Amino acid sequence: MKFFVDTAEIDAIQELHDLGMVDGVTTNPSLIAKSGRDILEVTREICGITNGPVSAEVVALEADDMIAEGRKLAKIADNIAVKVPLTWAGLKACKTLSDEGTMVNVTLCFSTNQALLAAKAGATFISPFIGRLDDINLDGMELIEDIRTVYDNYGFETQILAASIRSANHMSDCAKIGADVATAPPNVIKAMANHILTDKGLAGFMADVKKAGIKIL
């Protein structure tokens, strides 16, 4: 499973990239607004860090305007994936931009039907929002599993990009189900390294080292 980092914080992206933990980046206007910087400037800088897809989101609601914005964003770098919402207008924009050779990430997916439409429209990525479904007592992982089944049934090449990930458990569950990509905030990716037994074992090990006076350097 590929890891995308869901942030516009340059330092966080660079740190994870240097560790080989970044296969791509997802951003949105809300994340970039937190940085207080220009959206095009930040997106260009991110594209310079990773060779993987960098999702940059349109802000228009009408198809023609989405297409125009998408074309502008796509000029930033070759690894831009234009992010459009899963609306009928967004699907129209997806079809046009995909036909032009631009990667498209269709976001805000909450049903298998929506995911099927996005694949038919040529989406490179479909982004089901796990956490937001969990918030209303629906099973976000069940949606990932259903989309996986449908896409495999018919050989769709659209990649399942699990989004709205809230925990390390979400990450492992997505991997077991077969999501192609999971995008998560930096703190969630780092939390995957944590385990109470690792901490306990290390504490015991270090106590033995101190007692024995062992030094390497």
Tokens encoding 97:
């931009």
**46/48 Cα distance (integer angstroms):** 5
Asked about 83 being catalytic, the answer comes back as yes
Structure tokens at 163: 């989004």
Name the strand (E) or helix (H) holding 26: strand 24-26
Tokens of 76: 């930033």
In whole angstroms, what is the distance from residue 30 CA to residue 201 CA?
A: 41
Given CA atoms 131, 67, 114, 161 in this order, what sign does their dihedral have? negative
Catalytic annotation, pick one of 83, 176, 190, 210: 83
Cα dihedral value 96, 6, 72, 103, nearest 10: -30
Provide the annotated active-site residues: 83
